[in-house]
């Protein structure tokens, strides 16, 4: 039962990510018939903490407050180095999970969970800009760089900023049902439900490649997304056998040529939906999908939303 919630802070905490936890769990909404949580903010590093926005805050509780929490939330901080996290905090997080509490990270707060060993063998989410570093520091974690949040109960991890709201509401929905979660969302004026598997709206750079030939093919592929190509054609361009090219491509990019080009086509469609007034049919042609139905199918599959809904999100209802 979700009743007792504690947000634990390290020095350099991000105010927005802390605010997400406070807004979902720290507000008395009993006038709407909603549950009131026993909520507190605890410090891992003394009673006075700095935020990364340049102001300080006085925190009443220390790590002892975590011992009774059903949910321990770790908002983002300014450090990603496990050596900077207090060992007492890491011990408290491990004890919490051992006794049955959940832990929730918002954005780079996931690095604290990694330092506590709570990501080992688990899927996890983080802001896409930190995904590579998280995987490097904690190779036993299964980093999913594109999603809003991951629920590997009792460890829930979320991507940057607003994705923390989605993860927090997901926990409420899981524990207290959709009606409670939807009412809290309505009070916060946020979407009532975005699934954890929904993609972050991101633009990813070309993968770095140590193989010049594969890198050159990647550049060519990105510039010719409207063309239908086969592995055999790409392999010929790289002057390799199809089998060797496919293996090298997988090694260098972590995916197959088909999946890579499909993702790049969706990314290009995103940019065109945001920046142009072109019809969905025209965008489908420019991105190699051929028609609006095919574009819509792949767009929904990749991002969990339709092209028109995506355009409305970023440009307003009149654009769609």
CATH number for position 248: 1.10.10.60
319 has pLDDT over 70: no
Last residue of a domain, one of 188, 220, 237: 188
- Confirm whether 245 is domain-assigned: yes
| Domain residue limits at 46 | 4-188
For the stretch 238-269, pLDDT in tens is 999 999 999 888 877 777 899 889 988 988 99
Same domain, 30 and 123: yes
Q: To the nearest whole percent, how much of the chain has pLDDT over 90?
A: 70
Of residues 118 and 199, the one with the higher pLDDT is 118
For the stretch 121-174, pLDDT in tens is 999 999 988 999 999 999 999 999 888 999 999 999 999 878 999 999 999 988
Q: Summarize the confidence of residues 205-215 as an average pLDDT.
A: 58
d(CA 255, CA 3): 43
pLDDT-based confidence at residue 203 (cuts at 50, 70, 90)? low
Same domain, 216 and 273: yes
Q: Summarize the confidence of residues 13-38 as an average pLDDT.
A: 96
d(CA 298, CA 75): 33
112 has pLDDT over 70: yes
CA-closest candidate to residue 5, choices 114, 156, 150, 151: 156
d(CA 244, CA 211): 13
- Confirm whether 207 is domain-assigned: no
210 has pLDDT over 80: no
Q: Summarize the confidence of residues 284-292 as an average pLDDT.
A: 94
Q: What is the CATH number of the domain that holds 77?
A: 3.40.50.880
Same domain, 56 and 153: yes
Same domain, 217 and 138: no
Q: Summarize the confidence of residues 160-189 as an average pLDDT.
A: 91
Same domain, 41 and 73: yes
- Confirm whether 163 is domain-assigned: yes
Q: Give the model's pLDDT for residue 209.
A: 47
- Confirm whether 203 is domain-assigned: no
| Total domains, the chain | 2
Same domain, 167 and 234: no
Task: Report which DSSP code applies to 66.
Answer: G
- The structure tokens listed for 153 are 């109960």
Last residue of a domain, one of 156, 188, 220: 188
């Amino acid at each position: 039962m979700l009743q007792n919630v504690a947000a634990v802070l390290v020095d350099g905490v991000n105010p927005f990510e802390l605010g997400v936890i406070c807004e979902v769990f720290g507000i008395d909404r009993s006038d709407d018939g909603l549950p009131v949580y026993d909520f507190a903010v605890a410090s891992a590093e003394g009673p006075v903490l700095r935020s990364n926005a340049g102001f300080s805050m006085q925190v009443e509780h220390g790590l002892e407050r975590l011992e009774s929490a059903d949910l321990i939330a770790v908002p983002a901080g300014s450090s990603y180095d496990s050596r900077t996290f207090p060992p007492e905090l890491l011990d408290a997080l491990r004890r919490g999970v051992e006794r049955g509490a959940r832990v929730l990270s918002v954005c780079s707060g996931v690095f604290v969970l990694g330092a506590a060993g709570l990501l080992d063998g688990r899927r996890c989410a983080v802001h896409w800009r930190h995904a590579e570093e998280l995987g490097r520091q904690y190779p036993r974690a299964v980093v999913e760089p594109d999603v809003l949040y991951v629920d590997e109960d009792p460890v829930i991890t979320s991507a940057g900023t607003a994705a923390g709201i989605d993860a927090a509401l997901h926990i409420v929905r899981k524990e207290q049902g959709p009606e409670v979660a939807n009412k809290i969302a309505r009070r916060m004026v946020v979407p009532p439900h975005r699934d954890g598997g929904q993609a972050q709206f991101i633009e990813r750079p070309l993968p770095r490649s140590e193989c010049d030939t594969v890198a050159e093919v990647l550049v060519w592929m990105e510039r010719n997304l409207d063309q239908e190509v086969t592995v055999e054609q790409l392999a010929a361009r790289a002057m390799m056998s199809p089998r060797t090219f496919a293996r090298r491509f997988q090694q260098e990019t972590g995916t197959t040529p088909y999946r890579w080009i499909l993702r790049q086509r969706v990314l290009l469609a995103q940019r065109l939906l945001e920046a142009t007034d072109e019809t969905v049919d025209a965008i489908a042609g420019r991105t190699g999908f051929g028609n609006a139905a095919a574009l819509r199918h792949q767009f929904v599959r990749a991002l969990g939303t339709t092209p028109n809904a995506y355009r409305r999100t970023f440009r307003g209802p009149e654009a769609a």
